[in-house]
Amino acid sequence: MNELASLTKHNGVAVITVNNPPVNALSPGVPESIRAHIEAAELDSSIQAIVIIGGGRTFIAGADIKELEAAASGATPNPPKLHPLLCAIEDATKPAVMSIHGTALGGGLEVAMAGHYRVASPDAQMGQPEVNLGIIPGAEGTQRLPRLVGVPVALNLCVSGQAIKAGESLQLGLIDQIVEGDLLTGAIAFAKEVAAKGGPHRKTRERNEKLGTLESNAAAFAAAREQARKTRRNQHAPLAVVDAIEAAVALPFDQGCQREREIIRECLASDQCRALIHAFFAERTVSKIPGVPKDTPTLPIRQAAVVGAGTMGGGISMALANAGIPVLLKDADQPALDRGMATIRKNYESSVKRGRLTAEAMADRMALIHTQLGYEGFETAGIIIEAVFENMALKKQVFTALDRIAKPDCVLASNTSTLDIDEIAAVTARPHMVLGLHFFSPANVMRLVEVVRGKASGKQIIATCMALTRTLRKVGVLVGNCWGFVGNRMMFPYMREAQFLVEEGATPAQVDQALYDWGMAMGIFAVDDMAGIDVGWRVKQEHKHLEKQGLREPLLLEKLIAMGRLGQKTSAGWYRYDGARKPIPDPEIEALIAETARQAGIPRRVISTEEIIERCIYAMINEGARILEEGYALRASDIDTVYLTGYGFPAYRGGPMWYADTAGLKKVYERVVDFHRQFGELWEPAPLLARLAAEGRTFASLDAEKSVESAREERAGAR
Ligand code: NAI
């Protein structure tokens, strides 16, 4: 009969198995198919109980996000409807036992909660992560969850979006039993037992005993709203989900569901929801690389080596060890190695202290990192990552040595943030084995890795490194070999405008506050102080010869460097620091800025928040458009992923290019043209931005067009 779910009989128990690989998402046809089998089981007098279980590696993992995307973009009128299935389960006269393994998230958990009973394997996970996509649970989850676990727990689960394991679920009352051993056998036994007892098999919607009242939960609602505002700054959905759970307490079940539907409809119609869904798919699209098909053979990485045990080399070694890959870590001198290992130890110890890692796991990981001064053992490494000082002559020296030692199929990667990968590759006799792997600091934490493709980088090492980033639980984005690659190249105009704005009358604190309130994780001046003002400065000096002469230059950096105000590390930079890392606005700097502007003849004026946002963000977008047009990023959505995973750009704005689409490319372009007129050549509009704005198009439409083209080419290639 129906393939999306099947029914088998086991001695009086109907087992309905969902078959929609890979994760049994609730795609069209799945709910209908499960429901048809429930109806059949109800009519079958030989059946006493019903078990619903997922085929393959999981229960129903969640909604079909493509369907949500269609609803959010207005292509389909309503959110996917599960109500008839939920009713069929809950109203069944025979006990319905939901049998959970893998994950029951979102719609998956909502279906599970409609059952009369839930059993789970010990490692199963459950949660309502909808807020991550800018929505609330929309299939009665906000109404059933508080009935099962009580209001405070339901609030926490829905606002945080975090999943919990079976053990905790059992304690909270979300499930009724943990099944050790074979889940289906255990579920059938449980079903027989409850059927034999003869009920009543309670409907979740009628279980009101844990709900309490609006008064008794007042503090919990207030705390949840506070949690939402703090942990999900500026986002609507986490507050909306509190409203929906409030409705569960205030209203009878059916009316509560009605309220939930109204709220989710509002969420689906929001820019935030569309942006978060875009961010979700953008991150999954990075692995699609034209010319490097999914089945490109990758090289096995069983042993890695890292050169340079400094900030980055240490972090990269940790990332490798965390994934179980043994690392040979080399530095030029013993004190540097000792410092490197001490930092690694300190970082792991802090994870152990915070309960994120066991002492045994720490010991295992430390044991995977072997320090050394020479190149012994490097000949067995599948990848060698260089992270020595940012100096071309030194990097060339290291790669010359690596070329002599490494096995022929070893990937040679540089962690350089600005140097030319082709120039580095050229000192080897195997440029096709060389590329950049640009990790971000702290490399054991930050998810982004720019995989920098040199002119000669072979497709096999690209495929290998993209796969490696996944193994490291990071997000690899393939970028081209231009100055600053994608992320830092866009960061420079952003930073430049921030500095111009303070010269023209804003304060660093005002600019930072505007950017922070807009959603950036940190203000740009606070970032500069954290990274070290001298770092960016040195990079800029080295590349001065590439810059066009006669353009306006920021004036303050040089003065800060001369004053020894290098940022947090000297307790003073754009801000002052008094022991803690909290930036304190410094009148001395504000006076210095005003005086510098006076000397340079820059008129001072009141700067609006709107101008701060437009100049900083649009400068970034204009550069992004150039990068895209020049082919240094494959897609606008890749640029978004770089900014979302590496630069603290707010996910609910979708990334800089998506944000530009949302603001309207015509508007962005016109402002860039205004700024060009006002501030000169640095604001020359990117031709791609001009073209798309004139055609009334978006960066997203350009991505869609490219994806159709590359699918066509792939099909042609396969023939
Ligand atoms: P660092 O100064 O902390 O560490 C560099 C290490 O390389 C030092 O321990 C030094 O002793 C060692 N070293 C120097 N010459 C060596 C040689 N011949 N053989 C072996 N080891 C040698 O520098 P950091 O910050 O770790 O930067 C390393 C690379 O990563 C640079 O190319 C930098 O541009 C890049 N990068 C840095 C980021 C950051 O935030 N610090 C972010 C992304 C990339």
Distance CA 269, CA 240 (A): 13
Q: 31: alpha, beta or left, given left = phi > 0 and alpha = psi -120 to 50?
A: alpha
Residue extent(s) of CATH 3.90.226.10 domains in the chain: 5-269
CA-based torsion, 218, 220, 222, 224: positive or negative: negative
**Inter-axis angle of helices 141-149 and 151-160, nearest 10:** 130
pLDDT of residue 77: 64
Find out whether the beta carbon of 331 lies less than 6 Å from any atom of ligand 1. yes
168: pLDDT strictly greater than 80: yes
pLDDT tens-digit map of 331-362 = 999 999 999 999 999 999 999 999 999 999 99
pLDDT tens-digit map of 503-540 = 999 999 999 999 999 999 999 999 999 989 988 888 77
**Inter-axis angle of helices 524-531 and 487-504, nearest 10:** 120
Fold of 488-705: N-(1-d-carboxylethyl)-l-norvaline Dehydrogenase; domain 2 (1.10.1040)
Cα R_g (the chain), whole angstroms: 28
In this structure, how many other beta carbons lie within 10 angstroms of the beta carbon of residue 269? 12
- Ligand 1 centroid to 396 CA: how many Å? 14
pLDDT of residue 543: 76
3-class state of residue 322 by DSSP:
helix
Tokens of 437: 């792997």
Distance CA 313, CA 205 (A): 55
Q: Where does 101-163 show beta strands of DSSP type E?
A: 103-105, 117-120, 125-127
Find out whether the beta carbon of 401 lies less than 6 Å from any atom of ligand 1. no
Closest CA to 450 of 684, 310, 632, 195: 632
- Ligand 1 centroid to 391 CA: how many Å? 9
pLDDT of residue 1: 44
Find out whether the beta carbon of 392 lies less than 6 Å from any atom of ligand 1. no
pLDDT of residue 718: 65
Q: Which residues are catalytic?
A: 110, 130
Banded model confidence at residue 74, pLDDT cuts 50, 70, 90: confident
545: pLDDT strictly greater than 90: no
CATH code at 5-269: 3.90.226.10
The amino acid at residue 267 is: C
The CATH architecture one would assign to domain 304-481 is 3-Layer(aba) Sandwich (3.40)
Banded model confidence at residue 452, pLDDT cuts 50, 70, 90: very high
Q: What is the DSSP string of 523-555?
A: -HHHHHHHH-HHHHHHHHHHTGGGSPTTS---S
Percent of the chain with pLDDT over 70: 99
- Ligand 1 centroid to 76 CA: how many Å? 52
3-class state of residue 288 by DSSP:
coil
713: pLDDT strictly greater than 90: no
Find out whether the beta carbon of 15 lies less than 6 Å from any atom of ligand 1. no
Find out whether the beta carbon of 530 lies less than 6 Å from any atom of ligand 1. no
Ligand 1 atom 29 nearest Cα: 387
Find out whether the beta carbon of 357 lies less than 6 Å from any atom of ligand 1. no
- Ligand 1 centroid to 159 CA: how many Å? 40
pLDDT tens-digit map of 75-110 = 776 655 799 999 999 999 999 999 999 999 999 999
Tokens of 100: 């959970």
Distance CA 515, CA 497 (A): 12
pLDDT of residue 80: 58
37: pLDDT strictly greater than 70: yes
433: pLDDT strictly greater than 70: yes
pTM of the model: 0.94
Ligand 1 atom 1 nearest Cα: 310
Query: Which among 318, 338, 347, 388 is the best mutation to test ligand 1's pocket, defined by most ligand atoms within 8 Å of the CB?
Result: 388
Query: Which among 312, 440, 537 is the best mutation to test ligand 1's pocket, defined by most ligand atoms within 8 Å of the CB?
Result: 312
- Ligand 1 centroid to 311 CA: how many Å? 7
pLDDT tens-digit map of 553-584 = 999 999 999 999 999 999 999 999 987 789 99
pLDDT of residue 688: 98
Closest CA to 407 of 305, 545, 505: 305
Find out whether the beta carbon of 329 lies less than 6 Å from any atom of ligand 1. no
Distance CA 50, CA 97 (A): 6
For residues 465, 467, 472 and 478, what is the CA-based torsion angle, rounded to 10 degrees? 50
- Ligand 1 centroid to 574 CA: how many Å? 25
pLDDT of residue 716: 77
Find out whether the beta carbon of 330 lies less than 6 Å from any atom of ligand 1. yes
Find out whether the beta carbon of 448 lies less than 6 Å from any atom of ligand 1. no
Closest CA to 710 of 292, 272, 395, 208: 292
- Ligand 1 centroid to 59 CA: how many Å? 46
Residue extent(s) of CATH 1.10.1040.50 domains in the chain: 488-705
Residue extent(s) of CATH 3.40.50.720 domains in the chain: 304-481
pLDDT of residue 78: 64
Banded model confidence at residue 307, pLDDT cuts 50, 70, 90: very high
Q: Closest ligand 1 atom to the C-alpha of 340?
A: 9
Give the residue-averaged pLDDT of 37-54: 97
Distance CA 420, CA 392 (A): 8
pLDDT tens-digit map of 124-164 = 999 999 999 999 999 999 999 999 999 999 999 999 999 99
Q: Closest ligand 1 atom to the C-alpha of 391?
A: 32
* Averaged confidence pLDDT in the chain: 95
Q: Closest ligand 1 atom to the C-alpha of 398?
A: 18
195: pLDDT strictly greater than 80: yes
Q: Closest ligand 1 atom to the C-alpha of 397?
A: 18
In this structure, how many other beta carbons lie within 10 angstroms of the beta carbon of residue 206? 11
Tell me, rounded to whole angstroms, the distance of Cα 719 from its chain centroid.
36
Find out whether the beta carbon of 307 lies less than 6 Å from any atom of ligand 1. yes
Q: Where are the alpha helices (DSSP H) in 251-385?
A: 253-268, 271-285, 311-322, 334-353, 359-368
CA-based torsion, 163, 166, 168, 170: positive or negative: positive
Distance CA 139, CA 261 (A): 8
3-class state of residue 257 by DSSP:
helix
Q: Which of 21-30, 95-104, 480-489, 537-546 has the lowest mean pLDDT?
A: 537-546
715: pLDDT strictly greater than 80: no
**Is the Cβ–Cβ distance between 678 and 695 less than 8 Å?**
no
